[in-house]
Amino acid sequence: MEYDLLKQSRDCYDGPSTVSHAVDYDGTDDHVLARENVDAENSRDVEMLAEAKLLRQHKGRLESRMHVLEEHNQQLEWQLSRLRQLLDQVSARSFFTLLSSFIYRF
């Protein structure tokens, strides 16, 4: 399916492949031209398959990297949550310390 999509997009870009049934201007007959067109199409097919393979590999690397980044983000969120809790605890203690010292002065 992926191959067919790549082939269709390539055909739209390159234009339709045609096989000439007449003798070429240099005297080459149609079966030689047909063979050259088949070879060129096979070459494009090989290139598209190689490109599809590279794209799948790249997609795999990107998905793997995204997974690592998501895990790292979760760790950072947990650390931030913990730091906020500690800050709240320190702030509460500081407030009560200041309040008690103020009360005892008067």
Model pLDDT for residues 25-35, shown as the tens digit of each residue: 555 566 666 77
* First vs last C-alpha separation in the chain: 84
Structural contact between residues 37 and 21, judged by C-beta atoms closer than 8 angstroms:
no
Model pLDDT for residues 56-99, shown as the tens digit of each residue: 999 999 999 999 999 999 999 999 999 999 888 888 788 777 76
Distances 29 to 26, 32, 82 between C-alpha atoms, Å = 9, 6, 80
Give residue 17's pLDDT: 46
What is the helix (H) or strand (E) element at residue 32, kind and residue range? helix 30-105
Q: Which residue has the tokens 């390539």?
A: 10
pTM: 0.49
Using DSSP's 3-state secondary structure scheme, residue 77 falls into: helix
pLDDT over 80 (residue 12): no
Q: Which of residues 44 and 26 earns the better pLDDT score? A: 44
Chain centroid to Cα 11, Å, comes to 24
Domain ranges of the chain: 2-105
